[in-house]
Amino acid sequence: MKQNNMCSAEHHIHEECGVFGVFSGTPTDVASLAYYGLFALQHRGQESAGIVVNDDGVFNAYRDEGLVNDVFTPDRLRALGLGNIVVGHVRYATTGSDNKRNVQPIMINHQKGRMALAHNGNLTNSYELRDMLERRGSIFHTTTDSEVIAYIIVQERLRCGSIEEAVSAAMDRLEGAYSLVISSPSKLIAARDPHGFRPLCMGQRPDGAVVFASETCALDAVGARFVRDVAPGEVVTVDESGIHSDTTHCNKVPKSLCVFEYIYFSRPDSVVDGTCVSLARQTAGAYLAKTHPVDADVVIGVPDSGLDAAIGYSKQSGLPYEIGFTKNKYIGRTFISPTQDQRETGVNIKLNPIRPVVEGKRVVLIDDSIVRGTTCRRTIDLIRQAGAKEIHMRISAPPFVAPCYYGTDIDSAENLIANRHTVEEIAALIGADSLGYLKPEDVVWLTGCNTGFCTACFGGSYPTTVPQIGAKDRFEQKIHK
């Protein structure tokens, strides 16, 4: 369904998912570790949360829709009991709707035991794989590509000697983005797709427990020391005998980390593939100041991901940086309002400008992206109502012009404002006096060197074959002839 330029519902780039896992040598309260790890990853998914505790092969799980602290009350955490392995997940739906049946981790019972799987990313060949599995008699309980991954691994598990060999064999059949944390009855496994679209790191606690997480901020939350990133294509297995690495799939294709991990997804205090996210965002702001300078009085950022870019713009331009908004921290990014009037009121509840900072001034306003323009328009209106003399919008990413098939919720090019309007037209639509985007040729240098990024949504080439059927709800709409 097409939506009008300025009348659609509020839409912003949505988070990815977050995965977390711990292997402890002895049974302990791993559920609490998962709770704090997922809490640190809450920004990556606010629709649902789940934890599976493995106590020497006995799996105990709780999964539900909602935020981590709502899903896991103290009683529910205690009910999960002690264990030596735990897998956790926070979810934003990139394939499959946001209903209870799709909450992860996925749990599978099969001939050789049980398995719990947490997935961040999006497969590009999930439709074909699921069709093949269903024709062979597989029965699916969810509408996610994560269950497809689980079934493929189980198929390989019945042919392979070990679970880690099964995961490696499954990677020959999977295409697209996937960072996985998997528990078998006795092992914890982490795997990252050969392109490395999504981050995955490994740490170790003082007690020796090995931790895997989507971001280093989750390691910090559980007192784990960062050890290293899981390499693109690598399978890391942890069991009683130690840590084992399979690099069979490494270096077979160019690295294609989603550059939007630095621009928006990851927490600013995380270090992704060796680069601090906060510093990468400041670099984006510095590039904006060089390519889109403007005479102004103050630089402010839209919380949260626009703040570091605003600092970078300020440092490069010499313009003073100020905190221009107060953010209501009790309303998450997924704040939902059913009517247009309530949506507009919701912006005032979530963000409120600090009037003395902007009143009578020429303001440089930094944000991370413009998707359809509605959110930017309302944010600019707030500053204008607070008395800003001029508003110059600067975006720390290039314009979105193409769908993403690797987990970012951009699946319709026709609804992207940059595909229907020039920069000058977009500035007029959102009510800005001027508008400037980060240049596509600059975005790959946010880490200081071009180490391999996916920029397909900004008009770059796709690292994999583009799926013919790639909509988020493709499995809900699937019709068998």
CA distance linking residue 475 with residue 478, whole number of Å: 5
Strands 235-239 and 242-246: antiparallel
CA distance linking residue 235 with residue 249, whole number of Å: 9
CA distance linking residue 284 with residue 281, whole number of Å: 5
Task: Tell me if residue 276 is catalytic.
Answer: no
CA distance linking residue 57 with residue 165, whole number of Å: 19
Of 7, 17, 217, 376, catalytic? 17
Helices 145-157 and 126-135: crossing angle, nearest 10°? 60
Question: Active-site residue numbers?
Answer: 17
